[in-house]
Amino acid sequence: MAKLLPKAFGPQDLHQETGLMAHAETKDGLFVRMVTEDKLVLEALTAAIHCYSPYTHNRAGCAIQTINGQTFSGRYVENAAFNPSLSPLQVAFSCLNMSHLGEMPKVSRAVLVEKPSKIGQRSVSEMILKSVAPGVMLEYYQAE
């Protein structure tokens, strides 16, 4: 591997204890500012709790629901070089894509939960959603 990637680096080189695929539940928890029993919102919140954002600390998760009731979630993930990172909506759509060999079912709902930081996922998520599922409005919830 050293011959293929002679100057490879990873999270440890940037003084991070864990890597991208580690179970990244934070110690301080996360909750939505309003009380809700909405399963899709709670699924997006769970994804935000498990996101990997050691550099920006942007904790964001997304959940989408198809017209046939299936749900898929995604968490925000950063890499050691920061760019390219994956938005939580991209990850949710990737999960949806991987679960269907044939025609993908249409998305009927999309929820983003995030704790505000120096960056945000809302505008990129709205842009992605507009191109992939026109007519579906992004539901946005701030978390603390």
Provide the whole-model pTM. 0.82
The mean pLDDT of the chain is 84
137 versus 117: the higher-pLDDT residue is 137
Strand, helix or coil for residue 127 = helix
User: Cα(26)–Cα(142) distance, rounded to whole angstroms?
Assistant: 17
Within 13 Å and on the Cβ side, how many CA atoms surround 8? 7
For 49-85, what is each residue's pLDDT tens digit? 888 888 888 899 999 999 999 999 999 998 766 567 8
Which strands make up the sheet holding 71-75, listed edge to edge?
71-75, 59-66, 107-115, 138-142
Q: What is the pLDDT of residue 32?
A: 64
65 versus 35: the higher-pLDDT residue is 65
Domains of the chain, CATH where assigned: 29-142 (3.40.140.10)
